[in-house]
Amino acid sequence: MANAGVQSSKTKRNKAISWTVAMILAIFWLLVAFVPFLFMVLTGFKQKLEVIMGTAFDFPETFFTENYISIITDPSFWNYFKNSVIVLVLALVILLMFCSFAAYPLSRFKFKLRNFIFLVIVASMSIPIHVTMIPVFQMATKTGLYDTVWVLIPTAVAFALPMSVFIMTGFMEGIPKELEEAADIDGCGRYARFFRVIFPLSTPGLSTLAIYNGVNIWNEFIFAFTLTQSEKNRTLPLALWNYQGQYSSNTAMIMACLTLSTVPMIIMFVILQDKLIKGMMAGAVKG
Amino acid sequence: MNKNTLAYKQQKAVNLCAAVFLAPVIILMAIFLFYPIVQTFINSFMKWNGISADKAFNGLYNWNKLIHDGDFWRAFLNNVKIMVLSLVIQMPIGILLATFLDAGGKKFNIFKILWFLPLLMSSVAVGYLFRYALATNGGIISSISQLLGGGKVDLLGNQKTALYAVIMVVCWQFVPFYMVYYIAGYSSISSDVYEAAIIDGATRRQYVMSVALPLLVPTIKSAVIMSVTGSLKYFDLVYVMTGGGPGTSTELMATYMYKNSFVTYNMGYGSAIAGGMFILITLVAATIMKVMNRGGDE
């Protein structure tokens, strides 16, 4: 008995040691992850000369809010913001509709090409954007959509589709078949069953997809960069690009702009963090 | 099969319904993914500046140039360095963080939230942030070095260190992604398995090492594939942070392709680079998948 006591106090001490080590490492990574953020937000509150003269860890002498204010009161910032919102909302609505349309037959029906189509969609997840860029650019100039906000919507949808269809198919496979059979007996056809049974039951899957894709669409850079040109048609990630040209020597101003462009995502994350992480996890179901 | 049986008619109705529901996705993907890939390969045999309507057939000229283009292969090598170091750095850290959160449960939520933050920023924002955070004057690393009595450090301006600085930033941005991925892996292990292990007298560490990690192997495999394909098509962050420089020290396949196509408007050659990139990514990913699956059988 005494022996057992020694044993357990030993394992207890071992446990305490491993937790301490783990805690130290955890806090170290916390610093790695968070210090650049702090640097960004605080530098935004500095004055131009302070940044050049001081080190990264000097606190701002006074909280100089001029940078933030001049960006918030700049109408062109709100124009970028408006464009981002337009692309985000329209692309998300279309994406969610189309991907649940496609997931319905892929998850519920048996037909000849089912496996082939599913395989093609899964394989499309790893297509690099660059291999499509020049032809998409060509199509945009030919159709007159080049340098409009609208061109960013179908491209955003198309590149988000493979992953979304894949995840949504997995989600719909998890909806019990009995519900559908009941609707079938009640005289609901294949089309009506989708709208009355499957689609409403898919909302948890849709909301995680909305969040996951929302972050990606909000932050999209490469198509916005190649397919739009004039300031009035560009989205928020490009605002950073333009501010960079405008204030290249004013680090504080650029940090303020970075902070402001990240704020919407942080607010969304704070409100929806569980769902966001679930959305990311949905992509992780299996390989 | 008899065309009049009920089963046949029903299958026909199912096929039609499937076609209707799949049509929007197939059409969009055909226009924006499959057609452009074919067109890129066609363009790669052309001499074309992207603006004028006339493309001239150029035979294998672009592809021959690509194969002998030292800059392209140096860019590919940089991509491979990013790929290898991303795997070596991100996978273990991602697993460690997820293991910590899995062991700690809800009370470590604050860690989860703060660790997650880098993933919310756009690559462009991350690129700019670190362009200044790694600057010689007033940058974070420089300031730490000065606090410790050293001199200023110029990581991004030095050809020898720039690529490694870029890789560190890439890891900073994507470790949270893999962390979440592994949290998902852990949470898919049923709690019965954990309880059974504990009842059998396993410690937490034994549970992780001999029960959980083997069960995580499929998750790790798909994370590896994602990391590999991601590393090979990297663009935004590098383009913003270094523009491929100094010199060509951080040039990647994607930045090289972009510069050829949209800066110097050599779209024929740009298409060949894009096509080469596509082939190389597919080859590398297929090889790695094959190696991993063979390893799994033994």
DSSP letters, A208-262, are HHHHHHHHHHHT--HHHHHH--SGGG--HHHHHHHHHHHTTT-HHHHHHHHHHHH
> What pLDDT is stored for residue A176 in this prediction?
83
**Cα-based distances in Å from A187 to A198, B12, B21, B66:** 15, 19, 20, 62
CB contact (8 A) between residue A32 and residue B172: yes
Give a yes or no: residue A58 inside a domain.
no
Q: Which residue does chain B place closest to A36, by CA atoms?
A: B133
Asked if pLDDT for residue A137 goes beyond 50, the answer is yes
CB contact (8 A) between residue B181 and residue A280: yes
> What pLDDT is stored for residue B298 in this prediction?
41
Q: Which residue does chain A place closest to B101, by CA atoms?
A: A26
CB contact (8 A) between residue B37 and residue A131: yes
Q: Per residue in A187-235, pLDDT tens? A: 778 888 888 888 888 888 888 788 888 888 988 999 999 999 888 889 9
Q: Which residue does chain B place closest to A257, by CA atoms?
A: B125
**Shared-domain flag, residues A39 and A79:** no
Q: Which of B273, B95, B15, B70 is nearest to A133 (CA)?
A: B273
**Shared-domain flag, residues A110 and A211:** yes
Q: Per residue in A69-106, pLDDT tens? A: 888 888 888 999 999 999 999 999 999 999 999 999 99
Asked if pLDDT for residue A156 goes beyond 60, the answer is yes
**Are the C-beta atoms of residues B159 and B247 closer than 8 Å to each other?**
yes
Closest by Cβ to B117, choosing from A33, A98, A109: A33
Q: Per residue in B84-114, pLDDT tens? A: 999 999 999 999 999 998 888 778 888 888 8
Which residue range is the domain that position A12 belongs to?
Answer: 2-43
Q: Which residue does chain A place closest to B173, by CA atoms?
A: A33
Asked if pLDDT for residue A275 goes beyond 90, the answer is no
Name the phi and psi angles at B33, rounded to 5: -120, -55
**Shared-domain flag, residues A29 and A114:** no
B58: three-class secondary structure by DSSP? coil
Give a yes or no: residue A275 inside a domain.
yes
CB contact (8 A) between residue A127 and residue B33: yes
Secondary structure of chain A: what % helix, strand, coil (to 5)? 80, 0, 20
Rounded distance between C-alpha atoms, residue A41 and residue A45, angstroms: 7
Give a yes or no: residue A89 inside a domain.
yes
Find tokens 């140039």 and name the residue. Answer: B65
B59 in the Ramachandran plot: left (φ > 0), alpha (ψ -120 to 50) or beta? left
> What pLDDT is stored for residue A281 in this prediction?
63
CB contact (8 A) between residue A55 and residue B147: yes
Is the peptide bond prior to A36 cis by the omega test (within 30 degrees of 0)? no
**Are the C-beta atoms of residues B227 and B178 closer than 8 Å to each other?**
yes
* All structural domains of chain B: 61-297 (1.10.3720.10)
Candidates A131, A220, A253: best to mutate against B (most CBs of B within 10 A) is A131
Length of chain B: 298
User: Total domain count for chain A?
Assistant: 2
**Shared-domain flag, residues A35 and A83:** no
List the pLDDT tens digit at each of the 298 positions of chain B. 566 788 888 888 889 999 999 999 999 999 999 999 999 999 999 888 777 767 788 888 899 999 999 999 999 999 999 999 999 999 999 999 999 988 887 788 888 888 988 988 888 889 988 988 888 777 888 888 888 877 778 888 888 889 999 999 999 999 998 898 888 888 878 788 888 888 888 888 888 888 888 888 888 888 898 899 889 988 989 998 888 878 889 999 999 999 999 998 888 999 999 999 999 999 998 899 888 887 654 4
> What pLDDT is stored for residue A74 in this prediction?
84
Q: What is the mean pLDDT of residues A266-276?
A: 77
**Shared-domain flag, residues A138 and A271:** yes
Q: Which of B97, B12, B86 is nearest to B237 (CA)?
A: B86
CB contact (8 A) between residue B181 and residue A284: yes
**Shared-domain flag, residues A15 and A129:** no
**Are the C-beta atoms of residues A152 and A162 closer than 8 Å to each other?**
no
> What pLDDT is stored for residue B35 in this prediction?
95
Secondary structure of chain B: what % helix, strand, coil (to 5)? 75, 0, 20
Rounded distance between C-alpha atoms, residue B33 and residue B51, angstroms: 22
Whether the complex's predicted ipTM is more than 0.90 is answered with: no
3 state SS for B233-281: CCCHHHHHHCCCCCCCCCCCHHHHHHHHHHHCCCHHHHHHHHHHHHHHH
CB contact (8 A) between residue A55 and residue B222: no
**Shared-domain flag, residues A8 and A86:** no
> What pLDDT is stored for residue A1 in this prediction?
45
Q: Which residue has the higher pLDDT, A9 or B92?
A: B92
Rounded distance between C-alpha atoms, residue A254 and residue A40, angstroms: 9
Shortest alpha-carbon distance between residue A27 and chain B (Å): 8
Give a yes or no: residue A54 inside a domain.
no
One-letter amino acid of B203: T
Give a yes or no: residue A240 inside a domain.
yes
**Shared-domain flag, residues A37 and A79:** no
Give a yes or no: residue A128 inside a domain.
yes
**Shared-domain flag, residues A19 and A127:** no
Give a yes or no: residue A63 inside a domain.
no
